[in-house]
Amino acid sequence: MTSKMISLREDIYNDLKRLKNPNESFSELIERLIKGRKKDPLKHFGIAKDLPKDMLDDFENAVLEAKKLDAARASKRFSELWGNEE
């Protein structure tokens, strides 16, 4: 396997280092991040068109609630990692 050298700004390197799992190489991390982005957003387009409206409403409410929880978790984690910038 060949390898290539790339340069990164130090802040980007530090961000990647924080995302990296303990036994994961940087190549494996970058591969994991890239594969996560290759998902086809249209793969399931239209799948819910025949579901009842109340089920769709429940699903929409669950998604909105999950977004609120994710935002709260992200804010808490940001504060843990970088503290409050004043």
Alpha-carbon distance values, 60 to 11, 41, 68 (Å): 37, 17, 13
**pLDDT-derived band at 84, boundaries 50, 70, 90:** low
Question: What mean pLDDT comes out for the span 4-18?
Answer: 93
> Does the predicted TM-score (pTM) go above 0.75?
no
Residue 17 has a pLDDT of: 94
The token duo for 56 is 């769709």
Residue listed under structure tokens 């990647």:
16
Q: What is the DSSP string of the chain?
A: ---------HHHHHHHHHHS-TT--HHHHHHHHHHHH---TTTTTTTTTTS-HHHHHHHHHHHHHHHHHHHHHHHHHHHHHH----
Q: For the segment 55-83, what is each residue's pLDDT rounded down to a tens digit?
A: 988 988 999 999 999 988 888 888 888 87
